[in-house]
Amino acid sequence: MAVAAKGLSLRPSIDADDTIANLRNENLALKKRLNEKIDEAKKLSTKVHRLTDDIKKNRETDLGIPPVGGFLGVGPGPPSANGGLHQVAVRGPAGVARRDVEMKELVEDLKGQVRDLVKVNGQLQGKIFFSHPSYISPPPQIRILGGMLK
């Protein structure tokens, strides 16, 4: 009775098995969530790279350098987000400045999301490390005729 009063179980093996099963399930859930966050971070990183490339291409177009596919999407070139047709570049300082500001805001927003996901990724990896530490096995023992040799 004194054992039960202290909060210890009378069946420690069952509680240990339940705890191990719960930890395994939690570990699998954390790994799944970590992989999802890593995939999301990769997608956002790809978006940031594409947007920065688009900004560079738009600046070249505004300077009068024709893009690979021509000015109106005629000829070979990568299709744009609007169904394969390139928009006509707005010439002049007002149009360029407005578009640059919008693109910079979008890039900064995506970079912020990437930073947040990297932080969450680190936290999840830390949880996995603490819930499932690496196992160091004991050195193998070799049997010889007279007994054991370590």
pTM beyond 0.75: the answer is no
| Between residues 10 and 145, the one the model is more confident about | 145
Q: What is the pLDDT of residues 91-145, one digit of tens each?
A: 556 667 788 888 999 999 999 999 999 999 988 888 887 776 666 777 677 666 6
CB atoms within 10 A of CB 6: 6
| Between residues 116 and 2, the one the model is more confident about | 116
* Domain enclosing residue 140, as ranges: 14-68+89-149
Q: Can you tell me the distance from the alpha carbon of 52 to that of 54, in angstroms, rounded to the nearest whole number?
A: 5
> How many distinct structural domains can be found in the chain?
1
**Which amino acid would we find at residue 96?**
V
pLDDT band at residue 75 using 50, 70 and 90 as cut-offs: very low
Report if residue 40 sits inside a domain. yes
Report if residue 135 sits inside a domain. yes
Report if residue 8 sits inside a domain. no
Q: What is the pLDDT of residues 38-69, one digit of tens each?
A: 999 999 999 999 999 888 888 877 765 555 55
Packing angle of the helix pair 12-62, 93-131 (nearest 10 deg): 160
**Which amino acid would we find at residue 98?**
R
| Between residues 67 and 29, the one the model is more confident about | 29
Residue count of the chain, please give it: 150
